[in-house]
Amino acid sequence: MSRSKTQSTSRSYRRVAAAVDAVCAVAADFDATTLDEVVAAVSLERDREIEITSAQLGPGVCGQRRFYPERDIIVLADALPSRDHTLAHELGHIVFDHEGAPAVETTLEVSDDLIAYMLSQRAHAQIVDDGLDDLAEWEAETFAAMLMTRLRVFNNRGAGVSVLRFDEALG
């Protein structure tokens, strides 16, 4: 059984929003306006490489965060309906320092409910089970939804970095 390093044991939108704010502040510092640039900025800020790659993953597995002593690797499934959302979700696991489950264990335990969860755009609002693994998935999914919304907003409002700074000033 995997364990999360998450300190909190309950869901907190404030905690996730604070993490998104911190990531957006880092993005502004590095003039990052795309999700790939945001991942690179987080990597530089943490002084720990985050590599993004793709591979054939098990049925229902859209992405994985792989932790190594010297770096993190985000593996995205070859054919994804939403690459950016999955990338943001896996970045959420890194930001919250979730430990996760071994890839073999995750692949073997895939259920119809998990597949539906991974494919649902409303998944962050539909999770009802408690527990650290469920909390980790909820945090990563909520983080992804909030971050993607912020990125869409500031990329649609003009110069991304100036909008990030403006949003930062307003809180």
Spell out the domains of the chain, with CATH numbers in brackets.
Answer: 2-157 (1.10.10.2910)
Q: How far apart are CA 143 and CA 130, in angstroms?
A: 18
Q: How far apart are CA 46 and CA 40, in angstroms?
A: 10
Sequence-ordered alpha helix ranges (H) in 7-46: 13-29, 35-46
Stated as kind and residue range, the H or E segment containing 52 is: strand 49-55
- Residue 88 · residue 124 · CB < 8 Å: no
Supply 102's token pair: 């071994």
* pLDDT, mean over the chain: 79
Q: What percent of the chain has pLDDT over 90?
A: 51
- Tell me, what's the pLDDT at 55? 92
Q: Answer whether residue 158 shows pLDDT above 70.
A: no
Surface-to-core class of residue 1, CB atoms within 10 Å of its CB (0-12 exposed, 13-18 middle, 19+ buried): exposed
State the sign of the Cα–Cα–Cα–Cα dihedral 48, 53, 56, 57: positive
Strand order in the sheet with 71-77: 49-55, 71-77, 63-67
Stated as kind and residue range, the H or E segment containing 139 is: helix 132-156
- Tell me, what's the pLDDT at 10? 84
- Tell me, what's the pLDDT at 1? 41
Angle at CA of residue 162, ends 156 and 165, nearest 5°: 115
pTM of the predicted structure, to 2 decimals: 0.73
